[in-house]
Amino acid sequence: MTEPNDRDLAAERTEEAELIGRREAVARFAKYTAPVMLAVLISSSGKAAAGCVSCLPSSDVRLKRDIIPVGEAGGLGLYRYRYLWSDTAYVGVMAQEVAAVVPEAVQRGVDGYLRVDYSRLGLRLQTWDEWVAAQ
């Protein structure tokens, strides 16, 4: 049997770090989405219904990181951000701000986090790439 060389050891450490990173990402995702998934599963039909609060995008500032203002629409700030469990960048609103201007567009989910019905704002949640391409 041959001794592992530095390259083999480095590759092994990289694989281990990637696995740990994936596990941490899944744990973060589960922490914030499990209550929503449970609400959908125990709904009377078992399917997401129209007007389903848990089906609206989570727009609560407490679930976001790397928040940067990028513009304005209808008197509301637009921000680029990432969800705590994701590296994908999005452009959207902050539920707390929307609640002050258009309160009927904001609902609290069973998990306690605020959600925004973008259709009531005449907007749609977009990825950063979609938003940039539309500018």
Per-residue pLDDT of the chain (135 residues; tens, 9 = 90+): 567 677 777 777 887 777 777 777 666 665 555 554 444 443 333 343 445 544 566 788 998 999 999 999 888 999 999 998 889 999 999 999 999 999 999 998 888 889 999 889 998 888 999 999 988
Q: Radius of gyration of the chain from Cα atoms?
A: 19
What's the length of the chain? 135
Place of tokens 């125990």: 42
- pTM metric for this prediction: 0.61
Instruction: State the Cα–Cα distance between residues 89 and 130, nearest whole angstrom.
Output: 10
User: Kind and range of the H or E element at 28?
Assistant: helix 6-41
Is the distance from CB of 128 to CB of 92 less than 8 angstroms?
no
Query: Could you give the C-alpha distances from 73 to 10, 13, 70, 102, 107, in angstroms and in order?
Result: 48, 46, 10, 13, 20
